[in-house]
Structure 1
Amino acid sequence: MGPRPRAGRIAAGLIAVGLASALAACSPGAATPPSLPPSSSVSPTAAGPVSAVVDQFRDGYASGTIVLQLDDTASAPMTVVRAELVDARFVDGTAWSGSEELSPGLAISLPAQTTAPRCDHADDGAPAVRVTLADGSLHTVAASDPHVVLPRIHADACFAERVSAVVTLRFSDALSPGSAPGTAVLTLNQGAAQPSTTSRSTAGPAQATLVSVANTTLLDEDPSAPWPREVSLSAGGPPLRVTVRPARCDPHAVAEDKVGTLIPLTVRLGSATGTVKVAASSTLRAEIYAFVARSCGWTPAP
């Protein structure tokens, strides 16, 4: 995994992601980027003033945020005002906008929210990153993906989309008390199907089955109340109870949590089996943290 940016760079990047809908494609005073062609018409170059790597930090798993890591291959510093993933497997728009100084020998990591997958596209893309500099110049360079981030995100998103065409899975915002001390219940709701907007397949939806629930860094199964297994799923089906207990009582587990409230569900869809990761809402996430604190006897609860 490439180097993490300095604290100031991380904060600037995260603010840019949260305000992406409100930001322009360049920072104040920077040149306005030219109108961009579709990704499919762009031919990346092997070399340019920057090199690019696509990666993902653990805190981006739940949101689907990746990082576009750029390195200055020129001899002089430059200012980046936009960086966009170019990959036929995803709808255009996985981009970061802002203003970041890029200097030789110092890589920067720019967070970008992945867009919807193109599920009819084979998972064999060759990614590139389109970089706009403050001087208005545009450079599209081939990108490496050393940790195979994009194929994983594409495959997971397309499987989740196929499942959602049968049933939408979501946890309620509130925990319920468990039957034993130190336990609580997550309620998994089966909502209405969401027809695919990115796949042209005309095949009817397959039968969906919840094969199992997996533990996380924060939550584990209570042996006295086993998790649901081999349960048929359907739109409007009854809520499923998932009784949990803390997986560990290390305060750092909550303080440094990245994926502890991202619950992996193994789902069988027809003849295919995959994992659908259902993220807790911000309200439920706070309840889970408080539940772990109470169960572990921390005072005060975080």
Structure 2
Amino acid sequence: MAGRTRSWRVGGRAVAPVVGPVRGGALPGVPAVLALGVLVLGACVGGEPTAVTSASSPGPLPTAVTFDVEVAQARSDRVARVVELQVRNTGPVDVRITRARLTSVSLTAESEVDREIRVGSMRRLRVPLDAAVCAAAGEDPAPRVALGVSTADGRTGTVVVTPTDETDDLRRIEGEDCAAEAVAAGLRVTLSDDLAVRDVGGTSVADVTLLVEPVPGGPHVRIVSVHATTLLRPLGTTGRWDLVVDSAAPPADGRVVLATVPARCDLHAIAEDKRGTVLGVQAVVDGVEQPVFHVAASDALRGALYDYVVTTCGPPSDERTG
């Protein structure tokens, strides 16, 4: 055997024998290619596999990703219980918002979104409100907005912002919701779908009916007034219907009639109406005056009220009623 050389075949190709030492600790008499194969095989068995990539994995969001957030609620969104988050990208990179969550003492609103916000730009995100939780009423709302954020290079994270609320919408919503909850514990208040129209001294008057029903074992509730709207007002006055409705001595038939006339007859009275058929109710619960809460007309009543205003006002003008 000493005078013979022997070739090895690797992958169908003849490989010359190794002469002299092999760097890296190859076995004597074993071709370097095979030695490398043994080493590679040895690296693949035993122990945990190690991922090798050509680029590092995306990391967390850079701290420079920042936002200014303003909370607002349009009049047209009040019945739908939707708030708007006006989010401005004040950081150095374009981002994508994937989730928005608003929390305060009594309110929570959350929505999945998919909105790109470029540097310096502002986007409006609409988020629906959950039912208010009023156990902590009276505390500072201290709202927070948590935004799910991703960047073009794959980094993701959550940015928490203390929003501004220039028109104090959150506090108003919390007050309305908690007042409605407090009243409902002692007195159910709704609007009848029926609308009766009658003539009073030559004036067409619509009788809007408030339905009230005491709740056994509930708190003592008094309704003291119902506010006029942009579309409707009390007969003979402009501001409100003054009432004396007591859960301890309710009307025998559970009906409170509001004699109503149009508050406006101008061109935009109905065409641009948003809250004209939503009545604000002022109440006192166990001696504590509550914020105004609202009772909305059903679709049937709203349509009947619109028909009444159009019929009563006659041809549209640009004049408000006196």
TM-score by length of structure 2 reads 0.68
Displacement of 1:139 after TM fit? 1.9
Match for residue 229 of structure 1?
243
Q: Which of 56, 75, 80 lines up with 2:92 in the alignment?
A: 75
Displacement of 1:228 after TM fit? 5.4
Identity %: 28
Q: Which of 232, 237, 241 lines up with 1:219 in the alignment?
A: 232
The answer as to whether partners of 2:226 and 2:241 remain within 8 angstroms in 1 is yes
Looking at structure 2, the residues matched to 69 and 192 of structure 1 have their Cα atoms a distance apart, in angstroms, of 41
Displacement of 1:48 after TM fit? 4.1
Match for residue 129 of structure 2?
114
Displacement of 1:237 after TM fit? 5.7
Looking at structure 2, the residues matched to 292 and 101 of structure 1 have their Cα atoms a distance apart, in angstroms, of 44
Match for residue 142 of structure 2?
126
Q: How does 1:1-302 map to 2 (within 5 A)?
A: 48-90=65-107, 92=108, 94-121=109-136, 122-134=138-150, 136-180=156-200, 181-191=203-213, 193=215, 205-223=218-236, 227=241, 229-233=243-247, 238-274=254-290, 275-298=292-315
Q: Deviations over 1:197-233 (max 9, x none)?
A: xxxxxxx633211211211100011129x94511223
Aligned length: 242
The answer as to whether partners of 1:228 and 1:240 remain within 8 angstroms in 2 is no
Q: Structure 2: 5+ residue runs without aligned partners?
A: 1-62, 317-322
Q: Deviations over 1:233-253 (max 9, x none)?
A: 368961111111100101212
Q: Give the letter aligned to residue 230 of structure 1.
A: V
Mean CA deviation greater in 115-124 or 254-263: 115-124
Looking at structure 2, the residues matched to 125 and 152 of structure 1 have their Cα atoms a distance apart, in angstroms, of 11
Q: Give the letter aligned to residue 146 of structure 1.
A: E
Q: Structure 1: 5+ residue runs without aligned partners?
A: 1-45, 195-203
SS of 1:150's equivalent in the other structure is helix
Looking at structure 1, the residues matched to 89 and 215 of structure 2 have their Cα atoms a distance apart, in angstroms, of 46
Q: Give the letter aligned to residue 138 of structure 1.
A: T
Q: Deviations over 1:81-135 (max 9, x none)?
A: 2211022322x4x123232221233322222222222222143022111111355
Q: Who wins on radius of gyration, i.e. which is larger?
A: 2
Q: Using CA pairs under 8 Å that are at least 6 residues apart, name the structure with larger relative contact order, 1 or 2.
A: 1
Q: Give the letter aligned to residue 122 of structure 2.
A: A
Cα distance change, pair 293–106 in 1 and its aligned pair in 2 (3 A)? farther
Looking at structure 2, the residues matched to 52 and 72 of structure 1 have their Cα atoms a distance apart, in angstroms, of 9
The answer as to whether partners of 1:47 and 1:141 remain within 8 angstroms in 2 is no
The answer as to whether partners of 2:196 and 2:207 remain within 8 angstroms in 1 is yes
Displacement of 1:171 after TM fit? 0.5
SS of 1:176's equivalent in the other structure is strand
Displacement of 1:47 after TM fit? 7.6
Match for residue 36 of structure 1?
none
The answer as to whether partners of 1:123 and 1:151 remain within 8 angstroms in 2 is no
Cα RMSD between the aligned structures? 2.6
Q: Deviations over 1:117-166 (max 9, x none)?
A: 22221430221111113554322222122222212211221111010001
Structure 1 segments of 4+ aligned residues over 6 angstroms from their partners: none
SS of 1:175's equivalent in the other structure is strand
Cα distance change, pair 47–67 in 1 and its aligned pair in 2 (3 A)? farther
Greater strand proportion: 2
The answer as to whether partners of 1:166 and 1:205 remain within 8 angstroms in 2 is yes
Match for residue 17 of structure 1?
none
Displacement of 1:176 after TM fit? 1.6
